[in-house]
Structures are given as structure tokens and as C-alpha cells.
Structure 1
Amino acid sequence: MNKLELITALKTEANISKAEASSIIQIFFDSMADAMVNEDRAEIRGLCSFFVKKYKTYTGRNPKTGKKVTIKPKRLPFFKAGKELKERVDT
């Protein structure tokens, strides 16, 4: 399911206009992204959680040349499925 399909589903289910559904979905995604930018956890009980994982500087290798390369510290978003979602998928 992509964003447009999600908007259409919300529009149909809630009997609202496409513009309203689009606005709601955008607010939802922006709020989740803002939470992760602020290093907060975004959790939807029973479905999933999104969080930011921090990595320190480490030494890696360039796959083409084999030379050692210093990898800068970084933060990456992660997704973790909730127990109920895992159970629904594994039926």
C-alpha cells in the first residue's frame, strides 16, 4: 500500500474529502518524522514502533579498493513490528 492508496482508504472509510484525508495523512507522517528528528520514539500500540538508532564512528572498508575508511557517526530510523502485527502476518 502506498500513500495514495492510504489516502483513498481513509477517504472511503471516514466519508471525508480526498483533500481532508490527504491533510490528515500528511499531519500523521510529519508528526512521526518530527518525533524521530527529536530522538523521540513513535509508537502505535499493536502495530509498530519507529525509533532512531545512533552509530558511533567506526572503521569500514571500501568494497572496490579494500582500503580502510573512517565512517562518521550517524543516526538512522528503524522500524520494529509489534506483537499483534507479527501474529496477524504469521497466520
Structure 2
Amino acid sequence: MNKAALVSQMAAHSELTKKDTQAALNSMLNAIEKSLSEGDQVQINGFGTFALSYYPARKGRNPQTGEEIEIEGANKPVFKPAKALKDIL
């Protein structure tokens, strides 16, 4: 399912137009992005938690030259589903 299909399904299950539904979805996604960029986690009861996880620096290898390189550490977004969502699936 892509974003357009999600907007269509959300509009079908609510009394909102597709335009209003897309605005609501974009607003929610922007709020999640902003919270994660500030280092906060976003917990949606019954659905799950969006958070950042730090992956430390490590050594890698350039596949073309075989030269060893240092890969920088980075914060990456992770999603942990809630028990209610796991039970449904």
C-alpha cells in the first residue's frame, strides 16, 4: 500500500474528503518527524512507538577497491509495534 492508497482508505472510513484526509496524514507525519528530530519518541497507544536508535560507528569495506573504510555512527528511526497490533497480525 502506498500513500495514495492509504489516503483513499482513510477517506472511505471517515467523513473527510481525500484532500482533508491527505492534509491530516501529512500533518501527523510532520509531527512524528519533528518529534524524532528533537530526540523524542512518539507513542501511539494500541499501535506502537516510533523512536530513534543509535547505531555506533563501524568498519566497512569499499567493494570496488577492497579498501577498509570507517562508517559513521547514526541515529536511525525504529518502530516497535504495540501488543494489540501484534495480536491482530
TM range, smaller chain: 0.7 to 0.9
Unmatched 5+ stretches in structure 1:
none
| Count of matched residue pairs | 89
The answer to whether residue 51 in structure 2 is matched with residue 48 in structure 1 is no
The equivalent of 1:19 in structure 2 is 19
Secondary structure at 1:78's aligned position in 2?
strand
- 4+ residue stretches of structure 1 with deviation over 4 A? none
Letter in 1 for 2:8: T
The equivalent of 1:74 in structure 2 is 74
- Give the alignment's TM-score, normalised by structure 2: 0.84
Letter in 1 for 2:57: T
Unmatched 5+ stretches in structure 2:
none
Q: What does the per-residue CA deviation read over 1:5-56, in whole Å, with 9 as the maximum and x for residues that have no partner?
A: 2211222222222111110010011111111111111111121211111123
Instruction: Tell me, in whole angstroms, the C-alpha distance in 1 between the residues paired with 2:10 and 2:56.
Output: 40
Secondary structure at 1:86's aligned position in 2?
helix
- Give the alignment's TM-score, normalised by structure 1: 0.83
Letter in 2 for 1:11: A
Letter in 2 for 1:49: T
The equivalent of 2:4 in structure 1 is 4
